[in-house]
Amino acid sequence: MFGLLMVAVTNVIHAQVPADTLQEKIISLDGRLNALDERVALNESDLGKLTKIKVSGYIQAQYEYYQGGLVKPNDPVSTFFVRRARIKVTYEAADGIRFVLQPDFATGNLSLKDAYAVAYLPKLKTLTLWVGQFNRPNYEVEYSSSQREVFERSRLIRTIYPGEREVGAKLEFKPLAVPLKLQLAMLNGNFKGIEQLDVDSRKDVMARAVYSFKFPGQNIGIDVGAHGYFGGLMAKTKYVSDYENKMDSVDANVGTYLDKKWGGVEVQAFFDLWGGLALKGEYIAGRNAYPGDSKSNPYKTREFSGYYAYLIKNIGKKNQFVTRLDYFDPNTKLSGDAAGKDVFYTTLTFAWQFYLNENIRLSLNYGIPKNETNTTYPDDIKDNVFGIRMQAKF
């Protein structure tokens, strides 16, 4: 009986061992599965962040031929270079919050173009706040270089809005029921690059309004708008040119603000005719101020005016003909010999675009500037420019 009892106990013990081992294995596997779930959840979180990042950009490789040489008579008359090489990174941090960063790696000009944050104000999906470095509120300034039909912006815009961008804050309002856009920006002013801080404490203000008219039955769309710039430049020396009285003022108070005030009107008309036609233009006039540092290079104020007008015609599905006339007079108070170097320019530009596909565009561009003549410039300067560009977008 004792022997039978020992056999029975041994059988029970051997029967329990596999059960205990199986339970341990189940516990071990459960732990591994939990660890795997944690890794999957972490990967999904990382992947979710990556899907909020959008990367785009474009490269413009260019050849130019200069009628009178690059700058001086002995300079080369032609050159290859990379006009723009930009990468734009957009991060959608949350619903209604966006961060944008865009550097430019152009030949000899590494710079930061855009660095700003955009946020919808709470409960107002039609009102956005922009803070950082962004385009000034103007049509040709905001019209992307990757879409613009000619190589460069007009002389007018390049003069009064150098670099296109500014540092500051902007409110933009787009109501849902009305095709209207309102922009109001407070800017440092006098911006020449990300490395330049504000040169005075007074901020400049820009305001712009655009209304869109749609004519669906006639396949016509027209945008009309206006903008104004209200700012000043602080004179840090007593030397300020007074061109209205044709003299140099040497008794101006240091710290006096020189007016930078102007206004403009704009129109863009789009017609679905003969493959597509567009007419666009803007007129701007007012007073601008320029910095100086001595009597030989004094601070200056000028009454100026200018305009630009585009005609754009699609030729088939892949070609486009463009012509633009732009005019800029930096000093409307003086003309002829009295104007000196402040002569007006009228520039006629012709361009042809060929769209190989949605990513590749080939362009020809020919600009013909004509300057006012006087004793300083007795003849028209030989400064026509012919260019060929290939643009690749991604």
Give the integer Cα–Cα distance in Å for 102 and 164: 14
Are both 19 and 72 inside the same structural domain?
A: no
Are both 208 and 158 inside the same structural domain?
A: yes
Evaluate whether residue 53 is within a structural domain: no
Are both 194 and 144 inside the same structural domain?
A: yes
Angle, CA 222 vertex, CA 149 and CA 57 arms, to 5° = 35
Q: CB neighbours of 47 closer than 8 A, spacing ≥ 6?
A: none
Evaluate whether residue 306 is within a structural domain: yes
Question: How many structural domains are present in the chain?
Answer: 2
Are both 26 and 66 inside the same structural domain?
A: no
Q: Where are the beta strands (DSSP E) in 150-203?
A: 165-173, 180-187
The CATH number linked to 171 is 2.40.160.10
Return per-residue pLDDT of the chain as tens, 394 residues.
556 555 554 554 455 545 567 776 666 666 666 766 666 666 666 666 678 899 999 999 999 999 877 767 677 899 999 999 999 999 998 888 999 999 999 988 889 999 999 998 777 779 999 999 999 999 999 999 999 999 999 999 999 999 899 999 999 999 988 999 999 999 998 765 444 555 677 899 999 999 999 887 788 999 999 999 999 988 888 888 766 555 556 556 788 888 999 999 999 999 988 789 999 999 999 999 888 888 888 888 889 999 999 999 999 999 999 999 999 999 999 888 888 889 999 999 999 999 999 999 999 999 999 999 999 999 998 899 999 999 999 9
Are both 202 and 274 inside the same structural domain?
A: yes
Structural domain boundaries, residue 104? 61-393
Evaluate whether residue 332 is within a structural domain: yes
Are both 360 and 313 inside the same structural domain?
A: yes
Are both 278 and 130 inside the same structural domain?
A: yes
Are both 212 and 176 inside the same structural domain?
A: yes
Evaluate whether residue 36 is within a structural domain: yes
Question: Is the pTM higher than 0.75?
Answer: yes
Token reading at 241: 């040119």
Are both 220 and 330 inside the same structural domain?
A: yes
Are both 239 and 378 inside the same structural domain?
A: yes
Distances (CA, A) of 386 to 14, 76, 77, 361, 383: 95, 14, 11, 17, 10
Are both 30 and 101 inside the same structural domain?
A: no
